[in-house]
Amino acid sequence: MPPPSTSDENDDLDAPPPPRPGHYAEQSLLGALLLDPHRLDEIGPLESGHFYNHTHGELFRAMRSAPVPKAEQHRASPAWLNTVLDAAQPHAPGLAASYLHTLIQVCPWPSHAATYARMIRADHARRSLRLHAERLAQTAADTTLPHRAQATVQQADTLAQFLDDLSGRFAPHPGSLPRTPLPPSPARDTSEDALDEERLLIATATAYPAEAREMRWLVPEDFALPVHTALWQCLTALARRGDPVTVLWEAQHRGLLTHGTTSTDLLALLSTPVASPEHWGEKVLERALLSRAQTAALRVAAFTDDPATSPHQLITGSRRALAELTAVRSRWHQATAPATPRTAHPARTPAAPRAGPPPRTAPLPVRATR
């Protein structure tokens, strides 16, 4: 029997994580600039906010604010180093002169300062992109927002604009598609409110088939419950022949009548129209938009979490994720755009009011098994 272990199992609980590669890039750049301040003109557009380490950022800010000395003067005197240290210390508690010497020692090649700066910009772009993705996901999930769908669309536009800005900073290269495995889409909203909206849409679409035929902006994938997806397909397949009985017959042929969903259940569902199909269709499509926004945000975040993705791969993959959201939002804009006057068709079923539903005083019919 091996001897009992004498090490404490919790020894490594408080151990700090290993430094990120970007940490060494920041140290190397600062060391190069401390050795050769004139390289500040060679590193391109870099700001103190691009640094992940706060102390590093304050050191760089101090370097930018201090006049660059002549090479001969800098080699003969540490005056510039003292000036930088004095300017940074009030904003970086704990910064000591010894750390400046450490930065100089760890810099492998001062002539590679521009390369280190590009690495820092790429690392900052990755963090910023993840922040935009998190904001998109939070906005789409925030039920307290009065106009959540519109706020989500605006946040998606902000993310798209950030990607456009990044594309001008990082050159494309072959093999630009990320190889990051896509995370699963988040679960759709199947709360009672969401399912009630889908049920009422199906019922009113059955009662007003002419109105439902105009709703080309709604697709089966917008529904959260599979049985509602199938019922919408039944309705759209019947075209002008839709009524509760014909929809029930179509549902039977599609295998929707099971031990959990009877013909009585479906007839009760299809026979309780309230308000108009457009009203409920917009509700269902809005939830689909919010769900797609959360999916896009998760995918963008997954790309940023993968250290193997290059900046251009981040841009390409994120744009692809947003493209699927754009397809849904274009249909949402079509559905919510102000209606234009149209010539009434003689066979058109009169439309129900577009206003919200009246207060329900009776419970909904028996619900199909999810």
Instruction: Report residue 239 CA to chain centroid gap.
Output: 37
Residue 183 lies in a domain: yes
Report, as ranges of residue numbers, the positions in the chain whose pLDDT lies below 70. 1-16, 175, 238-271, 273, 339-370
The amino acid sitting at 316 is T
Q: Are residues 141 and 278 in the same domain?
A: yes
- By C-alpha distance, which of 347, 114, 96, 20 is closest to 210? 347
Residue 8 lies in a domain: no
What are the CA-CA distances from residue 135 to residues 129, 141, 227 (Å)? 10, 10, 33
Q: Are residues 132 and 99 in the same domain?
A: no
Which of residues 108, 138, 162 is at a domain's end? 108
How confident is the model at residue 264, as a pLDDT?
A: 63
Q: Are residues 157 and 230 in the same domain?
A: yes
Residue 172 lies in a domain: yes
Q: Are residues 85 and 52 in the same domain?
A: yes
**CB crowding 267-305: b at 16 or more within 10 Å, else e:** ebbbebbbbbbbbbbbbbbbbbbbbbbbbbbbbbbbbbe
Q: Are residues 168 and 49 in the same domain?
A: no
Q: Are residues 169 and 216 in the same domain?
A: yes
Q: Are residues 87 and 209 in the same domain?
A: no
Which single residue is written with the structure tokens 């050795």? 35
Chain segment 7-41, per-residue pLDDT in tens: 555 555 566 677 777 899 999 999 999 999 999 99
pTM beyond cutoff 0.95: no
Which of residues 79, 108, 137 is at a domain's end? 108
Bridge partners (DSSP) listed for residue 261: 258
CATH code: domain of residue 92: 1.10.860
CATH code: domain of residue 186: 1.10.860.10
> DSSP H helical segments within the chain, as ranges?
21-35, 54-65, 71-76, 79-88, 97-106, 113-141, 148-167, 192-207, 209-213, 226-238, 244-253, 263-270, 277-305, 311-336
Q: Are residues 271 and 161 in the same domain?
A: yes
Residue 313 lies in a domain: yes
- By C-alpha distance, which of 279, 295, 280 is closest to 140? 295
Q: Are residues 268 and 353 in the same domain?
A: yes
- By C-alpha distance, which of 167, 166, 149 is closest to 294? 149
Do 20 and 51 contact (CB within 8 A), yes or no? Answer: no
The span from the CA of 60 to the CA of 47, in Å, is 8
The domain containing residue 217 runs over which residues? 126-338+349-370
Which of residues 57, 73, 108 is at a domain's end? 108
Q: Are residues 187 and 214 in the same domain?
A: yes
What are the CA-CA distances from residue 262 to residues 252, 255, 258, 268, 287 (Å)? 10, 11, 6, 10, 27
Bridge partners (DSSP) listed for residue 258: 261
Q: Are residues 27 and 143 in the same domain?
A: no
How confident is the model at residue 22, as a pLDDT?
A: 87
How confident is the model at residue 254, as a pLDDT?
A: 54
Q: How many structural domains does the chain have?
A: 2
Chain segment 198-253, per-residue pLDDT in tens: 988 988 888 888 888 888 999 999 999 888 888 888 777 765 555 555 655 555 55
Q: Are residues 51 and 166 in the same domain?
A: no
Bridge partners (DSSP) listed for residue 178: none
Residue 11 lies in a domain: no
Residue 323 lies in a domain: yes
